[in-house]
Amino acid sequence: MTSSKLKISIALLACTLVAGCSSNGSKMSQGETFINTPPSDTQIENSVREQVSWMLDAFTPIAGQALPNQTVLDAYQFRNFEPFWIKEKQLDRAIYKLVDMLEDASSHGLNPVHYHLETIKEYLSIASPSSQQLAELDVLTTMALSSFAHDLSNGRYEPQLIDPNWQLDAPNDDWKNLLFLGSPSDITTYLPTLVPRHPDYQVLQNWLTTYQETARKEGDIRVNTGPPLRLGDESPRVAQLRARLVQLGDIRFSSQKVKENYFDRDVQAALMRFQKRHHLEADGTAGVQTIQALNISLAQRAKQIAYNLERWRWLPSQLEDNRIWVDLTDYRAHIHLNEQSESMKVVIGKPDRKTNVFYGKLTYMVVNPTWRVPMRIARENLLPKLQDNANYLTENGYHVFSSWSIGAPQLDPLAVDWQAIQPDELRYRFEQAADDDNALGDYKFMLPNKFDIYLHDTPARHLFNETERAFSSGCIRLERAEEFANLLAAGNRRTEQRLAKARASQQTTEVPLHHSMAVYLVYFTVVPNTNGMPEFRHDIYERDDLMKEAMGYAPFTPKESI
């Protein structure tokens, strides 16, 4: 269903549900007893029983996410269709607290429209509701609660439907618990606990609110295009630059008098801070790229933050203390082990061979590994090199086998007519021996997964000098693989001995780990930096465009729509 048709159908349904509303527009006050012969508790419960199934069917999925309706039905059956929000002919005041929470959904990058907010308000404005209208209000509010709780806990969207390469999703059922709590106040107290607990989420949420409010109250301060601005310049454009840096938080507002049009060292330092957190060259000069970044609207920045809040909701609510965190957009691996943390540079997959986002368990390492070339790489990389140079395999320490089956005979590479083979016809298996030129270096760290992705050493050390390091065919190359191996073995004498013995043997040897280690390959385009400011990274795999398409709404500011 298209977005416009969805809006029409929802509007028609809302009109149908609230048909017959009182024309005086009086609002049911918090905790107020209904007037004009209010319906009895039994009448309300009977109406709830009648309305639940119909309304669950009537309110179809919105914006790509099926409503968790079965849980709503189960919850009403559990309570024998007693209403959630009405007791002794009164509305519980917690329903108004929930409405406030739904109105605040945009602070999480979620759209209040998805939670039937305006329709709920219409019901609350009815002066003398019938038993059917009260039942409809109760069911619709519980549906909104259920959907919002699910979305806060698990994310609203299915990541694999947005991006097939995104396979990191950790749904949980914690959100269902609140539908079985004893009272509405317990429910609204429990709801905020479903929000991801990681500090990065909290910081980003605060910045999302800041960008939303600033966009609404001030609008964007733009820096006019023109020649680069640098230290010592004086012009009206410098005043614009200064004002924009104040607006974005890179210059703290001060009552001290300054010469607004003059590019002083405070402006230069603030501009360098801005450049660093937007992954630009921090030269303190406002050139074309820097001005373009400065002029990206607050609304657009808010949307980018919202995409990353959703990505956080796809992660487990609780991360392991011991874990390997491969931050793809920062090209770094962070090792958290035994209450200590280490960090090192990594090389990740090229844009046309994206490294998948997923969760795995590191279970063993291979010392002095051979490299069995994946078929895609053999067809796309190795075959063209062989067609240019028939001695390529011998010169680079490769062996070729007749097939991928166990025990397949080794072949003489010079006896094969490589020129006659088309890429899709290639069936040979290629293996590179363990030596100084091996593409895997001296170590391979295995986390069994369907993508055949692992962490490994590399002889191509020069690539770690690059700022953006997307050069591999999908696997993760580690800057300090030997140090990484030592960290994994540390503290377990048997593993340390096995590792030392494998190194001395110079033979390909598997070394199992004493305990498996959680590995997260994650992708964020906005993160808090060490100063708590939002750091906007290059979207190297263009995954934000996919998020924009999925989250195609504008809950942030009326000044701009997606």
DSSP conformation letters of 525-558:
SEEE-TTSPEEEPP-TT-HHHHHHHHT----S-T
347 has pLDDT over 80: yes
Q: Higher model confidence: residue 11 or residue 509? A: 509
Q: What is the mean pLDDT of the chain?
A: 87
The phi and psi torsions of 513 (rounded to 5 degrees) equal: -85, 150
Q: What pLDDT does residue 237 have? A: 97
Does residue 28 surpass a pLDDT of 80? no
Encoding tokens for residue 104?
Answer: 């605040």
Single-letter amino acid code for the residue at 383: L
Q: Using one digit for the tens of pLDDT, what is the confidence trace for 110-147? A: 999 989 999 999 999 998 888 888 888 999 999 999 99
Q: Average pLDDT for residues 53-72, to the nearest whole number?
A: 64
pTM: 0.86
pLDDT at 27: 53
- Report the distance separating Cα 50 and Cα 476, nearest Å: 57
Catalytic residue among 114, 116, 150, 475: 475
Two structure tokens written together for 93? 């005041």
Bridge pairing between strands 398-401 and 410-411: antiparallel
The question of whether 475 is a catalytic residue gets the answer yes
pLDDT of residue 40: 67
Residue 355 CA, chain-centre distance (Å), reads 15
d(CA 333, CA 324): 7
| 462 catalytically annotated | no
CA-to-CA dists, residue 250 to 212, 243, 361, angstroms: 17, 10, 40
Confidence band for 44, pLDDT divided at 50, 70 and 90: low
DSSP state of 462: G
Choose between 4 and 544: higher pLDDT.
544
What is the average pLDDT across 71-85? Answer: 89
Mean pLDDT along residues 309-333? 95
pLDDT band at 355 (very low <50, low <70, confident <90, very high): very high
Domains and CATH numbers, the chain: 3-195 (no CATH), 221-296 (1.10.101.10), 318-522 (2.40.440.10)
User: Are 430 and 393 within 8 A, CB to CB?
Assistant: yes
pLDDT confidence tier of residue 37, bands split at 50, 70 and 90: low
Q: Are strands 90-91 and 476-478 parallel, antiparallel or unpaired?
A: unpaired
Active-site hit among 116, 278, 336, 456 = 456
Is the distance from CB of 476 to CB of 348 less than 8 angstroms? Answer: yes
Tokens of 67: 């409503």
Q: Does residue 204 register a pLDDT over 90? A: yes
Q: What percent of the chain has pLDDT over 70?
A: 88
Ranges 31-35, 48-52, 195-199, 516-520: which has the least confidence: 31-35
Q: What is the pLDDT of residue 59?
A: 64
What type of residue sits at position 549? E
- Whether residue 116 contacts residue 143, with contact meaning beta carbons closer than 8 Å, is answered with yes
Tens digit of each residue's pLDDT (9 = 90 or more) over 407-433: 899 999 999 999 999 999 999 999 988
For 494-522, give one letter per residue: b (16+ CB within 10 A) or e: ebbebbeebbeeeeebebebeeebbbbbb
At residue 559 the predicted structure's pLDDT band, cuts being 50, 70 and 90, is very low
Residue linked to tokens 């009537």: 58
pLDDT of residue 14 exceeding 60 = no
- Compute the half-sphere exposure of residue 345: CA atoms within 13 Å on the CB side of its CA: 14
Give residue 43's pLDDT: 66
The pLDDT-based confidence of 68 (bands split at 50, 70, 90) is low
Residue 127 is predicted with a pLDDT of: 87
